[in-house]
Amino acid sequence: MTEQSTASTTPQPRSYPGINWIGVQTLYLREVRRFWKVGAQTVAGPVVTTLLYMLVFVVALQGARPPLHGTPFPEFVAPGLVMMAMLNNAFANASSSLIQAKVMNTATDFLTPPLSPLELTIGFSLGAATRGLVVGIVTAVCVLPFARLEVANPGLILWFGLLACLTMGMLGVLAGLWAQKFDQLAAVQNFVIMPMTFLSGTFYLVENLPEPFATISHFNPFFYLIDGFRAGFIGTGNAEGNLMIGMVLSGVLTLVMAVTCWLVFRSGWRLKT
């Protein structure tokens, strides 16, 4: 009777069917602490780079750039620079974490624990998105002396900002799994991510590009991410593209990247060999 009474009053551990949330939380905190320990490099560095861009394009060329769609040039370019920093850092967090684990043979740290492919995808993606969002928030605050950022539509800012960080985080996962050495990862950053970022209308109106480059730019997903994010600050009336198409495209792209990461983790491609 005593044993039964004791057993009935002893708190039982909570179970989370389907997903090991404790494992996901542990992996997520590992990823966040990994970049936070070197915050001067992972957070302060991108902010300084963005401020240098603002110095060149806003301060040095003050008065030389006319308003774009009625928006002063500093207010036009600032959201694009913030988004560019978010995209690059979300990608860098996941990709560098996985390539380091492969090169240093520490992949067992997250392969040995009972973490499913879905849980690995969630942990790495959220860790990368956190770095992207932190860099974005700090960068936005630091560019305020150069540009008056007014929030016209917070929903657009949250939607495009969050999905951009998640998408780039999962792209970083795929790049980190594919790359066998740091040179290959740098090639993806320099020849894929950087050109797509700079050719997405960060510093200019895409409609001013000659054909066929103006049309080609509308097939660049970064164009919709930056355009939608910018519209959240300067207003939907000043958006270049169709915001509804951008919202649907960003949602579908995030879902496709999530399924792809799950399948790759499930196969153990270039990770368990």
pLDDT single digits (tens) 33-52: 999 999 888 999 999 999 99
d(CA 198, CA 84) in angstroms, rounded, equals: 8
Count other Cβ atoms within 10 Å, centred on residue 32.
Answer: 17
Spatial neighbors of 55 by CB under 8 A, at least 6 apart, are 146
Contacts of 217 (CB under 8 A, 6+ apart): 199, 200, 201, 206, 209, 223
Q: If DSSP codes are grouped into helix, strand and coil, which group holds residue 71?
A: strand
72 prior amide bond cis, ω within 30: no
Residue whose C-alpha is closest to residue 227's, from 248, 246, 209, 208: 246
The model's pTM: 0.88
pLDDT in tens, 172-221: 999 999 999 899 999 999 999 988 988 888 888 888 888 888 888 889 99
Element at 114 (helix H, strand E): none
Determine contact, residues 129/207, Cβ cutoff 8 Å.
Answer: no
237 vs 120, residue with greater confidence: 120
